[in-house]
Amino acid sequence: MAIRKYLHSIMFGLIAGIDSLGTSVAFAALIFSGTLVIGFGKGVSVILLSCVLLAVYVAWRSGYRSSLAQVQETNIGILAAAVSAATASMGGATDAEKVSTVFAILAVSTIGTGALCYLSGRFRFGVLIRFLPHSVIAGFLAGSGWLLIDGALMMISNEASVAGIARSALEPAVLAVLIPAIVFATIMSVGLRLTVSPAVAPAITLLAIGLFYGLLLSGGLSAESARHLHWLPDVPPDQAGLTLPSPLSIALQADWQAVVGILPIIAAIPLITIAGLLLNTSGLEAASGRDINANAELKVAGQANLAVGILGGAPGFTGLGMTLLAGRLGVKDRSAGLATALALALALPFATELASAIPLFVAAGLMLMLGGELFYDWAIASRRTLPALEWAVALAIVVSMMIFGFVTGIALGLIFAVVTFVYNYARLPVVRLEASSRERRSRTDRSSTANHILDENGHLIQIIELQGYLFFGTVEQIVRAVRRRIGKDAPPRCLILDFRGVSGMDSAAMAGFSKIFNMLASERVSVVLSPATHDVRQIAERAEGARGRPLPVSVEMDLDHALEAAENELLAAHGDTGQSRSIAAHLVRELGPHPRLPALISAMRRIEMKADETLISAGDEASDVFVLASGRVKVQVTLESGRKLRLRSMTAGAVLGEVAFYLGGKRTADVIVEEDAVLFCLTGEMLRRLEADDAELAVLAHRLFAATLAERLALANRLVQLAYA
């Protein structure tokens, strides 16, 4: 069993090693092309060494034991664009200075990537990259694919512009490499899509190399002749074996001004790395069915890239395809990365010789295949998963990179990210609920007369409940909601704006409310704001200075108090102050004229209480029912924290205690007198005596309690209907 395990690890290491060797040569050929070819040998050595360090460190520290980290193609296209831009700005610099500048670019980009990855994981910022719109990520990745394709064509034609590539496309020397590269890329892509066998890519690569040398042999051409025809890389003889750049020569010979000039380009590499690592981590989670600590993986990748960057290497992270391949081959421990690193380490002393022996069409074909796969997956196939608008954004980013360059593509992508965020967030509803006082009532129990007035005239009180974050893009939703409320045949007397569900607002949103208040003032609509937070008070203060005169804006501690204040104002306007001291008048309003009402009043005990006195305490036996003749009481509970929470308020004409009386048991809340009150109490003992001796009077009492319960149930039903409307 152990021998089989080791054989699986060795098999995977050979497959992954051959794959990494081929792509490393292709990556180096892409970056060190044209006049930079003198650095090709060092480039291959550095990229191979980068793969070794990444594989070893990530295999050692990753939470996913079979992780395999590699230099990823998504970053190479960006690096190639950065190198091209930097060397083009160096004017009369020597080739050696340009090569040193290239390694400086690699070092800066990799160290920056490592630092940002580590800090993102250390401070748990990795999740922030998920806020980058998927369309922008798709655009960046598709754009990276285009850069690989463009770089491969530049490698073949030795032309630095699209126009130059097009002009040279029909030259025999170019076609001799371009056609085999396209054929190789096509066969490789088709082979990888038709089968999941891990040996496909290495087999096709080795077969292509063998076929190339077979044709050379049959045609009587030597390797040097092929190198002269630009079919093989032209590696300087002094770069045989393992050759690494000197950190001192990089520091002294590099044009750091040129490096600084392309920082906007390489700034995209850390973002692409973090996004790619998080996407791959999500893919591994889905494939393995287990959670992976994304922040821990970011820290590990950051540390690995810092080590690689010090040597002037290229950035990388855990690859999804190769890591999943390790699992399919039965390698589910850290030997996956270690075996791959060992295979590459054995190839390191011969890195330059191996690189110089790989035909140019193979290196270019790999770039065409990798770039084509990225471009197809993220610019074409993504149409099936992305909405039309987001897909159009991704295409716009790619097209801008193709026409105007990578920096413009990045800028456009960031602009689209902001615009997409504002557009999508502005579409989120910030108006949670619109209602009138007919459907939404305060937690204040009133007389039937008062309730009738509120039912008939509740449309004069309009409520708008807000939610989410308010900014300039969402204020217009509130303006439209207000216009709907005041644009009715009978405009309201009062508008309540509730900010309880609002998480915050910017200055533009606050300024937008001044427009709303001026609109309401012209319609003579008073405004009540709740709750009494700092932002809400600021809005009210701004309203006071609008148009040079105070606007009718008040602030209440919460929505319930705002509703209560508006209801009191409406009732007062209709002549109901709720201060009648005649219990008979209240009973007539509830039950209608009845000859036995005086007898019912006589059966009740009159109680006078002062403000702040306790009428009912939680835990008392529920043996009595009360009718509030005048004054005001509140029902409250004491929370575990000791804070008092008001549940309801009751004014003249309200009945209290009937629910607990019918259910039996103990009181669940305190009833405190808020304003001097006169109450009439019907005890349970008296009601039972009436039921035995005077059924008519008992029925009258039960009718009173039932009417109260029915009103509360009707109001509760309206609230439920409103919630699900």
Structure tokens at 509: 């949103």
CA 507/CA 354 separation, integer angstroms: 63
Q: Are 557 and 565 in contact (CB under 8 A)?
A: no
Reduced to 3 states (helix: H, G, I; strand: E, B; else coil), residue 301 is helix
CA 432/CA 415 separation, integer angstroms: 30
Helix runs in 220-262, H state only: 223-228, 247-253, 256-261
Topology alike, domains 431-573 and 583-723: no
Displacement of CA 159 from its chain's centroid (Å)? 42
Structure tokens at 522: 């012209």
CA 215/CA 672 separation, integer angstroms: 102
Domain residue extents for the chain: 2-233+243-381, 431-573, 583-723
Length of the chain: 725
Task: Locate the DSSP E strands across 443-525.
Answer: 444-445, 461-470, 494-505
Displacement of CA 384 from its chain's centroid (Å)? 21
Q: Are 508 and 473 in contact (CB under 8 A)?
A: no
CA 352/CA 243 separation, integer angstroms: 8
Q: At what angle do helices 388-404 and 406-427 cross, to 10 degrees?
A: 160
- Strands 494-505 vs 526-530: parallel, antiparallel or unpaired: parallel
Q: Are 68 and 58 in contact (CB under 8 A)?
A: yes
Q: Within a 10 A sphere around the Cβ of 651, how many other Cβ atoms?
A: 26
Reduced to 3 states (helix: H, G, I; strand: E, B; else coil), residue 463 is strand
Please identify which residue in the block is written with the tokens 């449309």: 459
| Burial per residue of 89-128, b for 16 or more beta-carbon CB atoms within 10 angstroms, e otherwise | eeeebeeebbbbbbbbbbbbbbbbbbebbbebbeeeebee
Residue 296 is predicted with a pLDDT of 92
The yes or no reply on domain 431-573 and CATH 2.30.110.10 is: no
CA atoms 218, 223, 229, 230: torsion sign: positive
719 membership: H or E segment, kind and range: helix 695-723
Q: Mark the ranges of the chain whose per-residue pLDDT is less than 50.
A: 548-549
> Cβ-count burial of 188 within 10 angstroms (0-12 exposed, 13-18 middle, 19+ buried)?
buried
- Strands 644-651 vs 444-445: parallel, antiparallel or unpaired: parallel
Q: Are 147 and 378 in contact (CB under 8 A)?
A: no
CA 255/CA 97 separation, integer angstroms: 7
Residue 499 is predicted with a pLDDT of 93
Reduced to 3 states (helix: H, G, I; strand: E, B; else coil), residue 241 is coil
- Strands 670-683 vs 444-445: parallel, antiparallel or unpaired: unpaired
Helix runs in 245-350, H state only: 247-253, 256-261, 263-266, 268-288, 294-310, 320-328, 335-347
Q: What global pTM score does this model have?
A: 0.62
> Cβ-count burial of 356 within 10 angstroms (0-12 exposed, 13-18 middle, 19+ buried)?
buried
Task: Locate the DSSP E strands across 84-143.
Answer: none
Please identify which residue in the block is written with the tokens 């003579």: 524
CA 355/CA 348 separation, integer angstroms: 11
Please report how many Cα atoms fall inside a 13 Å half-sphere around the Cα of residue 679, on the Cβ side: 30
Q: Output the CA angle 548-509-133, nearest 5 degrees.
A: 165
Nearest alpha carbon to residue 382 among 369, 397, 368, 400: 397
Q: Are 492 and 461 in contact (CB under 8 A)?
A: yes
Cis preceding-peptide flag for 233 (omega within 30 of 0):
no
Q: Are 529 and 562 in contact (CB under 8 A)?
A: yes
Residue 244 phi/psi, 5° resolution? Answer: -120, 145
Q: Are 113 and 270 in contact (CB under 8 A)?
A: yes
CA 22/CA 135 separation, integer angstroms: 31
3-state helix, strand, coil in the chain (%, to 5): 65, 15, 20
625 membership: H or E segment, kind and range: strand 624-638
Q: Are 701 and 682 in contact (CB under 8 A)?
A: yes
Residue 702 is predicted with a pLDDT of 86
Structure tokens at 413: 């992508």
**What CATH superfamily classification does 583-723 receive?**
Jelly Rolls (2.60.120.10)
Q: Are 672 and 633 in contact (CB under 8 A)?
A: yes
Structure tokens at 297: 């993986």
CA 491/CA 460 separation, integer angstroms: 7
CA 254/CA 530 separation, integer angstroms: 63
Reduced to 3 states (helix: H, G, I; strand: E, B; else coil), residue 474 is coil
CA 307/CA 120 separation, integer angstroms: 17
CA 700/CA 40 separation, integer angstroms: 103
Please identify which residue in the block is written with the tokens 């039950």: 591
Q: Are 469 and 499 in contact (CB under 8 A)?
A: no
Residue 70 phi/psi, 5° resolution? Answer: -140, 165
